[in-house]
Structure 1
């Protein structure tokens, strides 16, 4: 969910009102609220005006040249290694875990592992320990975009709300060329954040599974419980022909981290359990338990041996939105205090050897890294890097903040990255350079 979602929904307003533009024609993450803001006829007229404006616009040739120059620089010449094509032809599942920060991995609270299933999974997976959140104007919806495109999102507007028609040479499209069926699934209404329309048109998924494809039989946290979601999702996957690519964001560990008592399995002091940090530990512990369930279900349906599972955090959680609660906590150790931008990235596959990779990267690196495992070259299309071969140890996050150990040239180019992404999106680059029909 977008950062506005936390600010307005969780911390007070639950009706979808968000002022992206400062007038009565304000946009919203909720279609119903848009109609209220503009009236149904006004909304249709305004959306038609925006569409016509975009259709009649032409690509800026100078900006296209700037994009080409940046993407050429981004194409590293590197040596291949044993991970190239190791998962070619296998099913691919992305688990986009709500608000999962990296600091909980391999850590304990009062002698209890917070994420025991992920900790064990890391022992037989690729674990990227220095991945940084790159969301911009949005949060989860920006992650939807990056997980498909490998392109940074906009900062002035939420990309999928404002530019759902812009097409990317995305992982779903690249996999479709390899004979994959591609699915984006949210246990949410299709209109919220425009995820379904953008998933179909911008990212190019073959199928969209929204809330109507799920039975709401257990509510936990912010929506359908992860337990029920994974149970239903895995059963749906079992009925698909291979190969398939499926993406599923979770909801239970969404802020404000007030998961019900019956789902809280960590034994925490009352004071900690009742503040946001304790609630976060409990929510993430629940999310971790259900990830373990999902792996068991894949095994039950004889899918695990032929599937790679990619697990990542969509954005920060307690440190991003409730730092005052973190600072007010009084628990042993220092590991939980620091506010950083790290989210975990874990890639599991039967034939993938365990390795921890410490290179500094970002969420746009997921597409080229996973593509390398699948034997697909994305160097002409992605802003991200293949973290399995890269020689660079730096990345950029929102507000042009550079993290890592860049050379002078890398620092200059990384500072341009969000601006280049802006040009890619607003020039509909992949369509206007004939990379996508």
Structure 2
């Protein structure tokens, strides 16, 4: 006979209920096999922890830690639409900086994760008594129970290893087992031998095709380069009106005189905004499970700033927050920027979200650029005012589009207001550049870093669907961001090539006449692309990709998935062509990951 603490049973039962609730919040359903997997892991965990001494304290600590993990998983998925992993703990130091976003995500119902712990603390005397109560179970029954669960776990782990999508892996093996699978995956990566990633190898695997003769090659040679990264701005708000009023009139005007890419998508990973900066400047895929600002810290990364510095450009990046936020200082050094301007330069006047308002950001940036206008420069400007939770100061409402009453007290309404203000501020940038004489002599590139709108309730979903005129798609709408390139002395044109943040660097390089022949570039020049496929992960299951014709979302097995046509949004099952494309893009993204790990 084996002795087991009654408190241990209660703790495991409590964690089991919480794990099932977490599954429901993330997956929206509770299937029998997935629920059984959660329970199986906890049974094995229970058998192991029962070997420990000081059981009362141990079980209370385990319950608290588990409850915090479940709460974090639910809130994390609410915001990122991605699964939290043990590696996310490395970003715990950023919590103070993003506390307003955390407050906005927290819901009162999440408090129930800790109700049992509260009762056990208040009734400490009875909790101690429970810890001393013993249940006796026959040893044979324990062995049989352990064997059944180990076999069940092994089968589930094997099934999960055959899947690409993290969501499907989680559905198959459960929350804690998924963490073990992530640890196993990371460990195997550490022992993988280094590969010699050459430009020729990458070019041979590139999932795109280009025109034989490059169009617009060097058309902007010798011009200044100004890149503006817009916070959380999605493409569906551009050229959109509400009751006759434009939401983004200044961006709409820029589109008319620029090359505009409507089929353009974010590809950021866990680093979010900072990942967008990395992707644009490096043309390398984000790892997804680790912010690139920390992944490349202390290393030397081939990049757009280094390419332009060799061409005689002064390079600088402008961000209104502290440079320590998301380890940007280390990232800027790795990317080779000569200078960065952060909160020390911009101050705290007219503060919105995480820094000075975009109005102040643009004005002070142009002032600095005007001082160096006698030499060529590359300025990367990171806007910030339209950051989640879109809590725009009331005084700024006068600069935004007026919304009908149905948008009141909705996250969609707040989001539209924030983007409308970001557009107003962008208009100030354009005017300042014209006044300083920099506008006509600069190539101006504008893109959205990542998605912004949250549709977590029926009201917000209805508002977005009505605004779009169709059902909001998790890839084609949610991850679709603007990409606009204003080339001096060139008329505007719409380019329908599918692209992503990884394609910005080679597109710009072609226009500036830079030679990338000796560089490892994972992106594609979108002006000259005859076909292109881009991979997406983190905000969508790994294995998600978009071609010029459709978006693909992986299914529960490698031979399943969903295709959504870009032209008419019709959905269909997986095809042999899509399965082949999936294998190519997965291999290509792993090639990029290996390249990142090769940096010294």
Q: Larger deviation: 111-120 or 405-414?
A: 405-414
Give yes or no for contact 2:202–2:520 (8 Å, CA) kept in 1. Answer: no
Further displaced range: 212-221 or 343-352: 212-221
Please say if 1:272 is aligned against 2:443: no
- State how far apart, in whole Å, the 2-side matches of 1:204 and 1:170 are: 7
Deviations along 1:125-171, one digit per CA (max 9) or x if unpaired, are: 00011011111222101101011101011122112123312322200
Check whether the contact 1:150–1:368 (CA below 8 A) recurs between aligned residues.
yes
Matched, 1:393 2:532: yes
Q: Which residue does 2:34 correspond to in 1?
A: none
1:221-248: per-residue Cα shift (whole Å, max 9, x none)?
4431011111111111100142000111
Name which one, 1 or 2, has greater alpha-carbon Rg.
2
Aligned to 1:30: 94
Q: 1:401 to 1:67 in 2, by over 3 A?
A: farther
Moved more, 155-164 or 331-340: 331-340
TM-score, normalised relative to structure 2:
0.60
Aligned equivalents of 1:323, 1:368: Cα separation in 2: 39
Change (3 A) 1:358 1:77: closer
Partner of 2:365: 233
1:195-206 alignment runs, 5 A limit: 195-201=328-334, 203-206=335-338
Instruction: Give the 3-state SS of the residue equivalent to 1:85 in structure 2.
Output: coil
TM-score, normalised on structure 1?
A: 0.82
Quote how far apart the aligned CAs of 1:117 are.
0.8
Moved over 4 A (4+): 65-68, 321-325, 330-333, 405-411
Structure 1 contact 67–424 (Cα < 8 Å) conserved? no
Q: 1:29 to 1:147 in 2, by over 3 A?
A: farther
Q: Which of 326, 329, 344 is the matching residue for 2:463?
A: 329
Which has the larger displacement, 330-339 or 419-428?
Answer: 330-339
5+ residue gaps, structure 2, are 1-71, 98-189, 550-576
Q: Report the aligned-residue RMSD.
A: 3.0
* Change beyond 3 A, Cα 1:330–1:101: closer
Partner SS for 2:362: helix
2:598 match: 427
Q: Please say if residues 503 and 526 of structure 2, whose CA atoms lie closer than 8 Å, have aligned partners that are also in contact.
A: yes
- 2:429 matches 1:310: no
> What residue in structure 1 maps to residue 574 of structure 2?
none
Contact kept in structure 1, 2:210 and 2:528, CA below 8 Å: no
* 1:46 corresponding residue in structure 2: none
Correspondence list, 1:343-422, <5 A: 343-379=481-517, 380-398=519-537, 399-405=542-548, 410-422=581-593
Per-residue deviation at 1:336? 7.2
The aligned residue for residue 205 of structure 2 is 73
CA distance in 1, matches of 2:219, 2:457: 41
Give how far 1:360 is off. Answer: 0.8
Report the count of equivalent residues. Answer: 393
After superposition, the C-alpha distances for 1:35-65 in whole angstroms (9 at most, x for unaligned) are xxxxxxxxxxxxxxxxxxxxxx99934x325
What residue is the counterpart of 2:395 in the other structure?
262
* 1:396/1:402 contact within 8 Å kept: yes
Mean Cα displacement is larger for which, 357-366 or 78-87? 78-87
1:46-85 aligned at under 5 Å gives the runs: 60-61=193-194, 63-64=195-196, 69-74=201-206, 76=209, 78-85=211-218
| 1: CA distance, partners of 2:521 / 2:408 | 42
Map of 1:193-232 to 2, 5 A cutoff? 193-201=326-334, 203-232=335-364
Secondary structure class of the residue paired with 1:402: strand
Q: How far apart, in 2, do the equivalents of 1:404 and 1:291 lie?
A: 31
Alignment partner of 2:481: what SS?
A: strand
Are 2:416 and 1:281 aligned? yes
Q: Indicate if the aligned counterparts of 1:222 and 1:253 stay in contact, CA closer than 8 A.
A: no
How many Å separate the matches in 2 of 1:314 and 1:258?
Answer: 19
Comparing 330-339 and 397-406, the one that deviates more: 330-339
What SS does the aligned partner of 2:529 have?
coil
Q: Tell me which residue corresponds to 1:114.
A: 247
